[in-house]
């Protein structure tokens, strides 16, 4: 006679399967987190290359201004941004973050929308636009500003890339005076605390 499986055999088998499944799930989660971190680093490196290319060149773009205030653009304009500076408040606000007078690739050569979008689908941001209205924006690299940029309002942190443009005086720069920058992002894997944020990483500009 052939001996069948006992209840104990079945329970042991199910227990082993559950353990293996759990280990596989943990391993998969770890692998996916590492892959997302690799994507974040690659994106930041792409943005940094675009910023360095911007520093090395002068570029112009044409647009039309609504001088009558009636909602109809009527006067052709040309705006030029000079080499020797990273993009600051006015340049970014005038182009990719607000008016759309120039595209992302015009401002940062080689950079496209996927590179400024985190694995969670959040597009990049910048610190303290129109900083002169905000007393908290007088000094760059301030912990409270960085925490405010990443806070999700519920005790957590946003998955995004943040560009901090810095002038020679150590504050946030405006026009043709951005001598250096930082790009911040948050790692899922390495949770070392920096600036009060677990996992915060920083990429610093070539020119300091």
What average pLDDT does the chain have?
Answer: 85
- Let me know if residue 1 belongs to a domain: no
- Highest averaged pLDDT of the listed ranges 24-38, 39-53, 61-75: 39-53
Tell me how far apart the alpha carbons of residues 138 and 136 are, in angstroms, rounded to a whole number. Answer: 6
- Let me know if residue 193 belongs to a domain: yes
pLDDT digits (tens, 9 = 90+) for 106-151: 888 999 989 999 999 998 877 665 444 444 566 789 898 889 889 9
Q: What is the dihedral of CA 22, 24, 25, 29, to 10 degrees?
A: 140
Residue scoring higher pLDDT (176 or 34):
34
Residue scoring higher pLDDT (43 or 94):
43
- Let me know if residue 187 belongs to a domain: yes
Q: How many CB atoms lie within 10 A of CB 201?
A: 17
Taking residues 67-91, what's their average pLDDT?
87
- Let me know if residue 200 belongs to a domain: yes
Taking residues 161-172, what's their average pLDDT?
88
- Determine which helix (DSSP H) or strand (DSSP E) holds 47, and give its type and residue range: helix 7-55
- Highest averaged pLDDT of the listed ranges 101-105, 159-163, 184-188: 184-188
Percent of the chain whose pLDDT exceeds 90: 39
Look at residue 68 in the predicted model and tell me its pLDDT. 84
Look at residue 195 in the predicted model and tell me its pLDDT. 95
Q: How many domains does the chain fold into?
A: 1
pLDDT digits (tens, 9 = 90+) for 16-35: 777 777 767 667 788 899 99
Look at residue 131 in the predicted model and tell me its pLDDT. 43
Structure tokens belonging to residue 16? 């082993």
Look at residue 132 in the predicted model and tell me its pLDDT. 43
Tell me how far apart the alpha carbons of residues 72 and 208 are, in angstroms, rounded to a whole number. Answer: 42
Range of the structural domain that residue 71 is part of? 7-204
Tell me how far apart the alpha carbons of residues 133 and 137 are, in angstroms, rounded to a whole number. Answer: 8
Taking residues 193-207, what's their average pLDDT?
96
- Let me know if residue 109 belongs to a domain: yes
Q: What are phi and psi for residue 139, nearest 5 degrees?
A: -130, 130
Q: For residue 152, is pLDDT > 80? A: yes
- Let me know if residue 2 belongs to a domain: no
């Amino acid at each position: 006679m052939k001996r069948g499986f006992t209840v104990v055999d079945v329970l042991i088998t199910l227990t082993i399967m559950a353990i293996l499944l759990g280990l596989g799930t943990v391993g998969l989660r770890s692998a996916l987190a590492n892959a997302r971190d690799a994507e974040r680093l690659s994106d930041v490196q792409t943005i940094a290359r675009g910023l360095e290319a911007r520093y090395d060149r002068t570029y112009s773009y044409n647009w039309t201004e609504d001088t009558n205030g009636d909602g109809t653009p009527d006067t052709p304009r040309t705006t030029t941004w000079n080499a020797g500076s990273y993009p600051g408040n006015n340049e970014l606000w005038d182009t990719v973050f607000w008016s759309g007078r120039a595209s992302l690739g015009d401002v940062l050569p080689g950079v496209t929308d996927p590179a400024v979008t985190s694995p969670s689908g959040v597009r990049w941001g910048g610190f303290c636009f129109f900083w002169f209205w905000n007393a908290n924006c007088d000094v760059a690299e301030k912990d409270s500003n960085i925490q405010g940029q990443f806070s999700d309002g519920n005790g957590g942190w946003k998955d995004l890339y943040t560009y901090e443009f810095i002038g020679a005086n150590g504050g946030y720069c405006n026009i043709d005076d951005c001598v250096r920058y930082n790009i911040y992002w948050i790692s899922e894997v390495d949770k070392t605390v920096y600036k009060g944020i677990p996992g915060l990483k920083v990429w610093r500009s070539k020119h300091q």
